[in-house]
Amino acid sequence: MITILAFVILLGILIFFHELGHFIVAKTSGVGVLKFSLGFGPAILKKRIGETEYQIAALPLGGYVKMLGEDPDDRDQVTHIDPQRSFNRKSLPVKAAIVFAGPLFNFLLAVLIYILIAWTGVPTFLPMVGAVQKASPADKAGLISGDRIVTIAGAPVESWDDVSLNLQGLGAGKTVAIEISRDSRVFLLHVTPVLTKDKNLFGEQITRPMIGISRGDKTFMKRHGPLEGISYGFVQCYRIVELTGISLWKTVNGTVDIKKSLGGPIFIAQVSGQSLKAGLLPFLSLIAFISINLAIINLFPIPVLDGGYLLLFLIEGITGKPVEGRPREIAQQIGLFILILLMLFAFYNDIARLLKG
């Protein structure tokens, strides 16, 4: 039940913000909005306020904002709205802004969540030494489990991330002074990092300067100030966008196995339940992460996605003629076929993970 509840809450928040972006920009641009729907299929709850009907539908895997004149072939249009407020009668920049607003609001949702986390407190590992490898540079220098690293080459160390960054910045083969705190006493040790084989986040073999220590398990809540928290929100969002872009590229060129990297609704539901059980902060972090991924996916130039509509607007801007009729229909059919294939493959991966445990 927790998994189902977490999945419904996560999807509801993501879909609501995405469609809210389309809705707000459409309204402020003077476009008549006929329907705002969370979910597809028959309506469970619905209410008309002004010209717009708001509804929650039976299938929660998506949502939509239906605008006047958005689909020229759709005859299901109200007659009391001024035809001049039709989506198709707006300029290309306005139409592009309305379409782009959906992914933009998903990015903004992630930024807002990361800002909230920064103000509340980011769980951060203390710069405590967990284990020391035998005969490693750290072992030879005298570091032991439980030591707290205070400075590296004179640079202050506040968290375990600072330890990794400072050591990598110095390189290998160069002796570095490390100040540690042990039993309320301060020691200055000299360690020479060596290049060691390791694996990065994507499982690729790399070499990096290391001294042979692992982090401890003690953490603290690192709270950011008002302006610092806002900066953290945008920086963290950018980092996830960058990481997602790298992951996609490595998946395309075969570096990352798509069978391991691609997950569908079942996988998202599992992770949603696990993160909610872990606490509110992990759950919010997951929402931010998936919101960024949803924004990026929606910007793919595939017809039926927001990026596909932006591509059609670009073609219209270059040629001076809108893409409509049979060419538009074929493009949408191809886009829908691609999405169905990806969804089926994602479901296959999810089921294979369940069977393998």
Q: What is the pTM of this model?
A: 0.85
Which residue type is seen at 260? K
pLDDT at 344: 86
pLDDT at 204: 76
Question: Mean of the per-residue pLDDT values for the chain?
Answer: 88
How far, in Å, CA of 43 to CA of 330, rounded? 29
What mean pLDDT comes out for the span 16-34?
A: 94
Reply yes or no on whether the pLDDT at 80 is more than 70. Answer: no
Asked which of 16-30, 115-129, 246-260, 276-290 is least confident by mean pLDDT, the reply is 246-260
Reply yes or no on whether the pLDDT at 75 is more than 70. Answer: no
pLDDT at 40: 86
Q: What is the pLDDT of residues 113-164, one digit of tens each?
A: 999 999 999 989 999 999 999 999 999 999 999 999 999 988 899 999 998 8
Listed as own residue / partner, the contacts of 310-314 with beta carbons closer than 8 Å and 24 or more positions apart are 310/96, 310/99, 310/100, 313/92, 313/95, 313/96, 313/99
Asked which of 68-77, 130-139, 179-188 is least confident by mean pLDDT, the reply is 68-77
Reply yes or no on whether the pLDDT at 102 is more than 90. Answer: yes
How far, in Å, CA of 274 to CA of 349, rounded? 19
- Name the band, by pLDDT with cuts 50, 70 and 90, for residue 265: confident
To the query of whether residue 158 is one of the catalytic residues in this protein, the response is: no
In the chain, the percentage of residues whose pLDDT exceeds 70 is 96
pLDDT at 31: 92
Choosing from 19, 70, 228, 324, the catalytic residue is 19
How far, in Å, CA of 272 to CA of 152, rounded? 39
Residue 318: Cβ-neighbour burial (10 angstroms; 0-12, 13-18, 19+): exposed
pLDDT at 82: 75
Task: List Cβ neighbours of 115 (8 Å cut-off, separation of 6 or more).
Answer: 229, 230, 232, 233
- Best CATH choice for the domain 124-221 from the list 3.40.50.150, 3.20.10.10, 3.90.1150.10, 2.30.42.10: 2.30.42.10
Reply yes or no on whether the pLDDT at 76 is more than 60. Answer: no
The domain segmentation of the chain, as residue ranges, is 93-121+225-357, 124-221
**DSSP-assigned states of every residue in 286-330:** HHHHHHHHHHHHHTSS-TTSHHHHHHHHHHHHHHSS---SHHHHH
Which residue type is seen at 2? I
Q: What is the pLDDT of residues 231-259, one digit of tens each?
A: 999 999 999 999 988 888 888 777 777 76
